[in-house]
Amino acid sequence: MVKMLVNKLNHIINGPIKRYSSLPPLPKSNFTPDKYLGPSIEELLKVRQTRLNPVLTTYYGTPLAFNQGYKQWLFDLQGKRYLDMFGGICTVSVGHSHPKVSEALVQQIKKLGHVSNVYFHPKIHEYAERLTNKFPGGLKVVYFVNSGSEANDLAVLMARAYTRNTAILTLKNSYHGMTYQTMGLTSNAAYKHAVPQAPDIHNVMNPDVYKGPWGGAHCRDSPVQTTRSCSCSSSDCQAKAKYIDQLKDIFKYSVKPGNLAAFFAESIQGMGGVVQFPKGYIKEAYKIVKENGGVFVSDEVQTGFGRTGEHFWGFEMHNIQPDIVTVAKGIGNGFPLAAVVTRSEIAQALTNSMHFNTFGGNPLACAVGIAVLDVIQEEQLQENSLEIGTYLLQQLEKLKSKYSIIGDVRGKGLMIGLELIKNDEFASPVENEKYFQVWEACRDLGLIIGRGGIHGNVVRIKPPMCITKEDAKFTIEVLDRVFEKIK
């Protein structure tokens, strides 16, 4: 079965873009990986086929297996080096196996690996204070968990317990996790199993200024804009008002006024393809949520910890202060760590019954979390995200003017998306086969990129925040060569 899949995909990718007369040189690195001495790729494939979760997603026609990583670099089993511009799905924030983070983990496991939270241990208290100091206002109480799905699941419980209401709103095209309940929050059929969905969760129109019915060249808070024309001005976004009307309609047709528990929103949609909302939409949505008795939950799983550049948290770009914030991924640089941060009075709502998480806030996770915060500050990675991310966006916009396959460039900081389209009047999503060609050609040239969007046609660029301008230039050069071959 594995061989059949590999052969099927190989006929797609072995096209005219497979070979190049010359290769762009990778930026220099002084790191030498250890020699790999483990199982062969054939042995790994056999285990994958027979012993692992059968729906695990595997990128590329022939699987890419990594042995080691360092900062922005990944090394495969043969020692070939790749520039990682995807960061383990926006998870590796400060760099693969960052020495300071690794050392913090080593030192902590020598002292204490795990006790239960029914005991005191210093790290959870130190980290709780360090982390919540990064939040504004009354967002000072933290619940530690292990993943973004867990965090959003807990946020649902917290919102319903606090408001004593039940209805939850999320945006279409959103992704909030894959537990049974968060699968209901997620509004993308590809992530929904054919089972009854969690009750009283409602999806509202996504305010997408590129693909939605309204919006265009003046609507996004980004260094680059869609070329779609619109009647908005730089100070007055009419598209925002139209999408807000759609949000208000939910209270006419689906949700009883006074029964709203929460509205969930990513500051920039991640899995949905780096979709940005019209300026002012989130701030206006926040007001509507409060007027209807709900709490506003900001999903910062991908946008937090300085990735968007101008701010440490994505919600700050929308000029709001959420009631509940969920964080994961970059919080632990790949270590299983996540959190829910809220105000004291909301946190108190869960004291009416027991709430317990065996591994949430364990000493190892907290030691890693503290080290990540230190590295972001010491290496000025938020500032680097702004500088390098803005440069990348501007250079990608130049590529867009050269190649009709690029329909839209969007993002902030080092959270970037390129929507690939057919050259037709509808800007239809590019065919899967052509996207696979882009993917594979980038891999051949030593560049790792991601994939997202409802149609799987968005190149996702979300690298470790330690990348350099040389890395950005290499990324642009590779994409330029690839698009030149398949335009």
Sorting pLDDT into bands at 50, 70 and 90, what band is 8? very low
C-alpha atoms less than 13 angstroms from C-alpha of 216 in its C-beta half-sphere: 11
**Whether pLDDT at 192 is above 70:** yes
Q: In the 8-state DSSP scheme, what is residue 324? A: E
* 127 and 253 share one domain: yes
Is a pLDDT exceeding 70 seen at residue 470?
A: yes
Residue 55 falls within a domain, yes or no? yes
Structural domain harbouring 182? 100-378
165 within domain boundaries: yes
Regarding whether 52 and 108 lie in a shared domain, the answer is no
pLDDT tier for residue 24 given thresholds of 50, 70 and 90:
confident
Q: Is residue 48 part of a domain?
A: yes
Residue 113 pLDDT > 90: yes
Least confidently predicted of 15-24, 159-168, 236-245, 313-322: 15-24
| pLDDT at residue 76, rounded to an integer | 97
Q: With 80 as the cut, is the pLDDT of residue 248 above it?
A: yes
What pLDDT sits at residue 486?
Answer: 86
SS3 79: coil
Domain boundary among 348, 378, 408: 378
- The pLDDT value given to residue 13: 41
- Quick one: pLDDT band at residue 57, thresholds 50, 70, 90? confident
Q: 14 pLDDT exceeds 50? A: no
Residue 213 forms part of a structural domain: yes
Pick the last residue of a domain from 378, 409, 438: 378
The pLDDT value given to residue 324:
99
Our count of domains for the chain comes to 2
In a domain? residue 366: yes
411 pLDDT exceeds 90? yes
Closest to 128 (Cα-Cα) out of 335, 264, 327: 327
Instruction: Using pLDDT thresholds of 50, 70 and 90, give the confidence band for residue 21.
Output: low
Indicate whether 31 and 112 sit together in one domain.
no
Give dist(CA 86, CA 91) in Å, integer.
8
Same domain, 343 and 389: no
Average pLDDT on 431-448 reads 96
Q: Report the range of poorest mean pLDDT among 24-38, 222-236, 260-274, 439-453.
A: 222-236
> In terms of domains, do 309 and 413 share one?
no
Token pair 């070939």: residue: 80
Residues 172 and 311 in one domain: yes
Distance of CA 59 to the CA centre of its chain: 17
Q: Are 142 and 261 contained in the same domain?
A: yes
Instruction: Kindly tell me if the per-residue pLDDT of 1 is higher than 60.
Output: no
Give 393-406 pLDDT, tens digit per residue: 999 999 999 999 99
Residue 21 lies in a domain: yes
Say what the pLDDT of residue 235 is: 72
Reply yes or no on whether the pLDDT at 77 is more than 70.
yes
Q: How many CA atoms lie within 13 A of 239 on its CB side?
A: 29
Q: What is the mean pLDDT of residues 18-37?
A: 86
Are 239 and 386 found together in one domain? no
Contacts of 94 (CB under 8 A, 6+ apart): 101, 333, 372, 375, 376, 379, 381, 464, 465, 466
Q: Are 191 and 182 in contact (CB under 8 A)?
A: no
Using one digit for the tens of pLDDT, what is the confidence trace for 279-334? Answer: 999 999 999 999 999 999 999 999 999 999 999 999 999 999 999 999 999 999 99
Could you tell me if 350 and 456 lie in one domain?
no
SS3 290: helix
Please state the φ and ψ torsions of residue 451, each to the nearest 5 degrees.
-140, 140
Whether 194 is covered by a domain: the verdict is yes
CATH number for the domain including 138?
A: 3.40.640.10
Q: Looking at the structure, do residues 374 and 452 belong to the same domain, yes or no? A: no
pLDDT for the residue 234: 67
Provide the pLDDT for residue 19: 57
Q: What percent of the chain has pLDDT over 70?
A: 95
- The answer on 229 and 259 residing in a single domain is yes
Kindly report the average pLDDT of the chain as a whole number. Answer: 93
Q: CATH no. for residue 450?
A: 3.90.1150.10
Kindly state the tokens that stand for 54: 């059968």
Residues 238, 118 share a domain: yes
Q: What is the pLDDT of residue 475?
A: 98
Pick the closest to residue 108 from 134, 127, 131 (CA basis).
127
Which of 340, 358, 378 is where one domain is finished? 378
pLDDT at 6: 44
Query: Chain-centre distance of CA 82, in angstroms?
Result: 21
**Tens of pLDDT, residues 333-366:** 999 999 999 999 999 999 999 888 999 999 999 9
Residue 354 forms part of a structural domain: yes
Share of the chain above pLDDT 90, in %: 87
Kindly report which listed range (17-31, 130-144, 194-208, 447-461) carries the lowest average pLDDT score: 17-31
Cα angle, residue 301 at apex, residues 332 and 176 outer, rounded to 5°: 130
Least confident of 170-179, 184-193, 232-241, 278-287: 232-241
Look at 10-24, 83-97, 239-253 and tell me which has the smallest mean pLDDT: 10-24
pLDDT value of position 3? 47
Question: Looking at residue 58, what is its pLDDT?
Answer: 84
